[in-house]
Structures are given as structure tokens and as C-alpha cells.
Amino acid sequence: MLSLSLRNMLNGIGERASTRFAVVMPDGSRYPVGEGIPVFTITFHTEAAVFATATRGHIGLMEAYFDQEVDVQGDFGAALAAAMAAGLDQNSGALNGIENSLHELRHSNRDPAQAKANARAHYGLGTGFYRPWLDDPLMMYTCGYWPEGTRSLEEAQRRKIDHVCRKILLQPEDRFIDIGCGFGGFMFRAQEKIGATGVGLNTTTEQVEWLRDEIERRGLEASLQVREADFRDVDAQYDKVVSIGTLEHAGRDQLPEVIRAHAQFLKPGGLGILHFIGHMGRFETGLFIRKHVFPGGWIPSLADVIVEMERSGLEVLDIENLRRHYAPTLDAWAERFEAHWPVIQAQDPQRFNERFRRVWRTYLIGCAEMFRSPAGYTHLFQIVFSKGNVTPHGYPMGRGHLYGPER
């Protein structure tokens, strides 16, 4: 039977999220929430899962789901959206707050070796894992750009790269650095379409090794290189700085250092872009995302990022919020992840087991709902910046160059 605390929690979710669902208890009893056909059903298989949910809220429920002590039938995205709409993810409780703080301390990126281990834990899963569900062939693992008429993930990622190139006025004679270059999608398209040369900076050994081989396979050694190094390891100055999806891995204490490194990489008068997930306001990064997906991850506020940019001598030229573009990107990833799961699992059944699948589908679908939520405070920003104040001739006086005809 339902405990009073769990009953109140479920009723509160139904009321605040205006959602119909049902709960099935370990003894087979069924408890409906709301009237009508349920959109989803949560089935508890063990009393331990019931206790974890009643005492630890969303973390207890999710971890019971990962361990197959809970199942969710029906619309999984609607279940996650309901929890967010009801604020279940914000009522974490003292125990979850303590665990979150300890996890941040234990996985701090202050030590470059720990920062590398954190990055490899997520990004070092191999090309064979990422290729089936990312866009082909660029494999961009960051928010796409979906203006009206965009029809596919591949098109959205190409448009994102082209949008960035326009923003920083990338020219054939420019030499750029791509901080946290991933699988090199930006580098390859910028070189192919514009003719610019560049260096990718990446701390994940597995991605670096694959990217070096791919650069060699394409015969682009004279145009593109990749360095395996920490994001704070400045080796030279470049005409343009590109940072797409890196800042979220700086960590609370390292934000000033990482922003300062971005400034140090840039030549005086040069242009750069910071593309990152950020909060509107100061909020804690959730325990789930840190503990199960991105060890060492931390989502900064837009205000704190701008303050550090000012301190590093960077002029903010433009800020665009692409939050609405992340939901369709994550929708596409989640759909492809589900469709290709048998292929992924076959590569390494022990590593890519059922628990892994449940964590990752929760991450992908949950983040899509988070960015889609009208009440959310997590956004996706692109900040264009210069090193020192630009002149009227150094950057266009309007935004026509961003939306005009193709160059």
C-alpha cells in the first residue's frame, strides 16, 4: 500500500503538472492519479524502490529505475516532464544536497588529471558508441540550429557550424582553435567550406586518437591538427577562438581560469564564440547529471560567465539564446539512440548493459523535456566576443551577415 508521504508526493505531481498517470505497487495494487486514461504508469517492483522514492524523491525514483526495480510504461518523456513541471527535481532534500556537494568536491576539475578522467568517463566511450545516433558524418555532440525549414539532424548541425562561422567572420586566411573539438566536425566543415586552418584541443584520449587518424585519412595534415591537452593549456594565439560545449566542464572553481584561457588563446582584435549550457540565475547543477552522466560537470549562470569575460578583457558583442533549438536536437539523438541500441549493445554487452541504456535514455529524453519546459531556467547561449573593443571596421554594425545569402 502507498505510504502517506508517497501518496502526497504523487498527488502533488498530478495537480501541479496537470497529468494523468497511475502507480502500481509491489503487491499489485494500483493507484490512479487524475481522471481518465493514464499517460504513463509507474510500476514499483520492490519495497526498497518505494522507500527510496519516498525518502529521496526524484533521485531515489530514477536510481530505482536504473536498477530495474521500477519500470515506466507509456510516454516516458511525459513522465519526466511531469516531474519537472511539479518541481520534483528541485525538492532534493538534505541527503541529496550533501551527496551532490561531496560529488562536486570529489570530482573537481581543479586537478588536470581529474579533469581528464572526468572527460574520458563520458566522451571516451568510443566512436562506435556515438556514431549510430549522432549526425553523419560530422558527429557533432552539441546543440543543433533549427531555423524554419530545417528537416534533419544533419542539416541542423551543418547550419549550426555555418552560423558560428558567420558570427566570428571566419575567413580562409584565419587560423582558429577549436577548444574541446570532439570528433572534429566543426574543424572539417570550416576547412572544407571556408578553407580556414585550425587546431583542435581535446583532453579525451579516445577522441584525439580517432581524430588524428581521420585527419590523416583525409590528407588534411597541413590544414588541421589536434592537441591532447587540458583546456587551460595555452600554447599560442589564434585569429579566431571556437568553444562549443566546453564551458560546462570547467567546474565552479575553474570558471575564471577557463575563461581567461579563452582570452589568452585569442590574438588582440580577434573574435571568438562561447557556445554553452547556462542558467538564467544561480542554480545548483543536479545530482543526477553529475553522478550518472557528466562527472565534474557544472552549469554556470550567464551572469557569472559575462563577469569573468569582462575580467579577462573580452568585449561581449552578441548573445543569442538557442534554448528552443536543443529540444529537437535531443529528440533526434534519443530516437536514434533507441533505434540503434541493439547495435550499440552488441559492441560491448557488459559495458552497454540495461542499466547503461536506462541512464542514457533518461539523460537524453529528460534533457529534451528540460529545454522544452516553459518554466525551465537552463538555456543554451552563444556569446560572440572580441579581445579588446572592436572598431566599426572590425565587426559589422548590424546582423545582416548572419542571415543574408550564403557566402
Question: What beta strand segments (E) does 109-254 contain?
Answer: 175-179, 197-202, 224-228, 238-244
In degrees, rounded to 5, the angle at the alpha carbon of residue 60 between the alpha carbons of residues 58 and 61 is: 65
- Percentage of the chain with pLDDT > 90? 82
- Report yes or no: 137 and 369 within 8 Å, Cβ to Cβ: no
Q: What is the pLDDT of residues 51-78, one digit of tens each?
A: 998 888 889 999 999 999 999 999 999 9
Grid cell for residue 181: 573539438
- Could you state, in order of their start, the residue ranges of all structural domains in the chain? 4-91, 112-403
Q: What is the pLDDT of residues 179-215, one digit of tens each?
A: 999 999 999 999 999 999 999 999 999 999 999 999 9
Cα distance between residue 59 and residue 88, in whole Å:
9
- Percentage of the chain with pLDDT > 70? 97
Please report the DSSP string for 48-112 in residue order. HHHHHHHHHHHHHHHHHHHTTSEEEEE-HHHHHHHHHHTTTTT--HHHHHHHHHHHHHHT-TTSH
Return the CATH number of the domain spanning residue range 4-91.
3.30.1050
Q: Strand, coil or helix: what is 167?
A: helix
Confidence at residue 381, expressed as pLDDT on a 0 to 100 scale: 98
Confidence at residue 194, expressed as pLDDT on a 0 to 100 scale: 97
**Average predicted confidence (pLDDT) for the chain:** 93
How many angstroms separate the Cα of 65 from the Cα of each of 5, 192, 241, 337? 19, 45, 41, 18
Within 10 Å of residue 161's Cβ, how many Cβ atoms? Answer: 24
Q: Cβ contacts of residue 315 below 8 Å, gap of 6+?
A: 385, 386, 387, 388, 389, 390
Q: What is the pLDDT of residues 281-318, one digit of tens each?
A: 999 999 999 999 999 999 999 999 999 999 999 999 99
Judged against a pLDDT cut of 60, whether residue 406 lies above it is answered with: no
Cα distance between residue 328 and residue 364, in whole Å:
11
Judged against a pLDDT cut of 90, whether residue 15 lies above it is answered with: no
Q: What is the pLDDT of residues 266-286, one digit of tens each?
A: 999 999 999 999 999 999 999
Work out the pLDDT band at 1, boundaries 50, 70, 90: low
Confidence at residue 3, expressed as pLDDT on a 0 to 100 scale: 67
Grid cell for residue 230: 587540458
Average of pLDDT values for 93-100? Answer: 86
Confidence at residue 90, expressed as pLDDT on a 0 to 100 scale: 66
- Report yes or no: 295 and 285 within 8 Å, Cβ to Cβ: no
Q: Which of 185-189, 245-249, 383-387, 393-397 has the lowest mean pLDDT?
A: 393-397
pTM above 0.85, yes or no: yes
Confidence at residue 394, expressed as pLDDT on a 0 to 100 scale: 87
Hunting for cell 590528407 — which residue is that? 219
Q: Which long-range contacts (CB under 8 A, 24 or more apart) does 387-392 make?
A: 387/263, 387/266, 387/267, 387/268, 387/269, 387/270, 387/272, 387/313, 387/314, 387/315, 388/268, 388/269, 388/313, 388/315, 389/315, 390/269, 390/271, 390/315, 390/317
Please report the DSSP string for 173-207 in residue order. T-EEEEET-TTSHHHHHHHHHT--EEEEEE--HHH
Confidence at residue 2, expressed as pLDDT on a 0 to 100 scale: 62
Cα distance between residue 29 and residue 1, in whole Å:
7
Confidence at residue 6, expressed as pLDDT on a 0 to 100 scale: 72
Cα distance between residue 80 and residue 56, in whole Å:
16
Q: CATH class for domain 112-403?
A: alpha beta
Confidence at residue 87, expressed as pLDDT on a 0 to 100 scale: 77
Question: What amino acid is encoded at 195 in this protein?
Answer: G
Q: What is the pLDDT of residues 337-382, one digit of tens each?
A: 999 999 999 999 999 999 999 999 999 999 999 999 988 899 999 9
Cα distance between residue 390 and residue 271, in whole Å:
9
Confidence at residue 387, expressed as pLDDT on a 0 to 100 scale: 95
Cα distance between residue 265 and residue 205, in whole Å:
22
Confidence at residue 94, expressed as pLDDT on a 0 to 100 scale: 81
